[in-house]
Amino acid sequence: MKTIVVASKNPVKIKAVKQGFERMFPGQENVCKGITVRSGVKDQPESDVEALRGAFNRAREARQQVPQADYWVGVEGGIEEREGEMAAFAWVVVVTGKMIGKARTATFYLPPSVSALVRQGKELGEADDIVFGRSNSKQENGAVGLLTGNIIDRTGLYEQAVVLALAPIKNPELYTGRVDESTSDVGMKD
């Protein structure tokens, strides 16, 4: 039985991590639990780099809080301005006792009405709730689900990145040199 600690209590993130591990390691029994940790970045990361740092910090903090686990996973959503439009995405970082895996979700662009609210200081989830007349959508289908009619929801978007972040862990012989240095920022440099 492998223990996976997700550095969030958000049910969407926990479900995405659980499903990603099940797809990459079929037959492996897992216990997946979420804990509350700080990301060390803004509540709404405003760049690719800041979102990656938040995911990395979450995984590292989860490892410090629950050192007896087998895997620690940080998921951090972010937005970034690009030529007058606002892009949305998330980073996933998986830390083991030996390696670090990381991957980013697909990117999608937010409607101007949502982007305007984010620019005014609202988190993306709050902006979505206002524009779409919802409540707590970030713990359900998220912006991507609202915009695609749930063809792709937040869980599915994150799950794919979890699978990709697990590629080095599933194939360690192909990723020599990706040593787990989760107690320093070295893991952020490759």
List, for residues 172-187, the tens digit of each pLDDT value. Answer: 999 876 555 544 443 4
φ/ψ region of 91 (left if φ > 0, alpha if ψ in -120 to 50, else beta) reads beta
List, for residues 30-46, the tens digit of each pLDDT value. Answer: 999 999 999 999 989 99
pLDDT in the model for residue 115: 96
Q: Would you say domain 2-105+155-185 falls under CATH 3.40.50.1000?
A: no
Would you give the DSSP letter of residue 46?
-
Identify the helix (H) or strand (E) that includes residue 85: strand 85-95
Q: For residue 189, what pLDDT band results from cuts at 50, 70 and 90?
A: very low
**What value does the mean pLDDT take over residues 83-107?**
96
In this model, does residue 97 exceed pLDDT 80? yes
pLDDT in the model for residue 157: 96
Helix (H, G, I), strand (E, B) or coil at 7: coil
**What value does the mean pLDDT take over residues 131-143?**
84
In this model, does residue 90 exceed pLDDT 60? yes
